[in-house]
Amino acid sequence: MILLDGKKISDEIKSEIKVSVEKLIRKKERPPHLAAILVGDDGASLTYIASKIRSCDQVGFKSSLFRYNSDISENDLIKKIEDLNINREIDGFIVQLPLPKHINEQKVLLSIDPRKDVDGFHPTNFGKMALGLKSFIPATPYGIMKLIEKYDIETEGKSCLVVGRSNIVGRPMSILMSLRGRYGNSTVTLAHSKSKNLAELTKKADIIIMALGIPEFLKYDMIKKDSTIIDVGITRVEDKSKRRGYVIKGDVDFDSVSKKAKFLTPVPGGVGPMTIAMLLQNTLDARL
């Protein structure tokens, strides 16, 4: 089994980004600037934002965090976004999801200027991506495509099963794998909670991308020998023996699946770090 080392590849990508930033600085231009909006104090969201900010520091980006209480109104939040849309010092920004229930997520995402939408969630970017045009690609699917490219995994004519149809992972992933291109051209099936006989689908797939959020869901007897398995899942599972009180689990039963798969991503250290690297890449592209 070959481990798809997202940590190593993301470090390489970050080094390349750092070189581009240094070139900007040498030309006396300002570095890229990523801003993040965080509403409320959800523990996982705080962790993700902290690691995005740390990564900005690593590559020489400027970063800003705008934090609001969870009772901020939808209108007030949209006003903050409109301020960022016209702020010339900020190249791209993200609104950390999920948002509190009283805020309409789609309305908020629609208010982001697509030119600064480095998460690639705005319909303009999503539509361009679906048409195979240049756009900001959502960071997680973009990171997975990069991993596939870096390990030169054969995708043409292969059967690819994506499990999970969220707008941020599963659905864009299914589109990217079906597009024309060296790393695309797959025959894609998109499964979700209403899909029947999932194990029959997983057993037939050459490539499986798991993005459902159920720890260790995919087991040894559900996959084909020598398949490629990409694990997007991140779930905190209570573990009192750990200092933090939990461990992070992916959607794949790593120990058993690693005995049968050809390529496999670990959790942590697989898709997670790639997601952050591609967010940085999108921000650099927004600056240039």
Which stretches of the chain bind ligand NDP, using CB under 6 A? 140, 163-166, 168-170, 191-195, 198, 211-214, 232-235, 271-272, 275
Is 58 assigned a catalytic role? no
What single-letter amino acid sits at 278? Answer: M
- The tokens describing 188, both together, are 């894609």
Instruction: With H, G, I as helix, E, B as strand and everything else as coil, classify residue 74.
Output: helix
Compute the least distance from the CB of residue 265 to ligand NDP, in Å. 9
Q: Which is nearer to ligand NDP, 80 or 129 (CB)?
A: 129
**CA dist 267 → 22, 51, 203 (Å):** 32, 16, 22
Q: Which is nearer to ligand NDP, 198 or 247 (CB)?
A: 198
Q: How far is the CB of 58 from ligand NDP (least distance, A)?
A: 17
**Active-site hit among 119, 231, 251, 253:** 119
Pick the catalytic residue: 52, 80, 146, 249? 52
CB of 169 to ligand NDP, least distance (A): 4
Q: Which of 182, 258, 183 is nearest to 218 (CA)?
A: 258
| Cα torsion 184, 187, 193, 198: sign | negative
- Residue where the block lists tokens 């509403």: 39
Of 69 and 197, which has the nearer Cβ to ligand NDP? 197
The minimum distance between CB 39 and ligand NDP, in angstroms, equals: 17
Buried b (16+ CB within 10 A) or exposed e, 50-72: eebbebbeebbbbbbebeeeeeb
Residue keyed to tokens 């409320």: 40
119 catalytically annotated: yes
We find the least distance from the C-beta atom of residue 213 to ligand NDP, in angstroms, to be 3
Q: Tell me the closest approach of the beta carbon of residue 243 to ligand NDP, in angstroms.
A: 21
Calpha distance 83→95 (Å, rounded): 13
Distance from CA of residue 245 to its chain's centroid? 25
Nearer to ligand NDP, 56 or 234 (CB): 234
Q: Active-site residue among 96, 206, 249, 251? A: 96
Q: DSSP characters for 91-109?
A: -EEEEPSPPPTTS-HHHHH
| 187/195 with CB nearer ligand NDP | 195
Range 165-177 burial, b when 16+ CB lie within 10 A, else e:
bbebbbbbbbbbb
252/286 with CB nearer ligand NDP:
252
Residues tagged active-site:
52, 96, 119
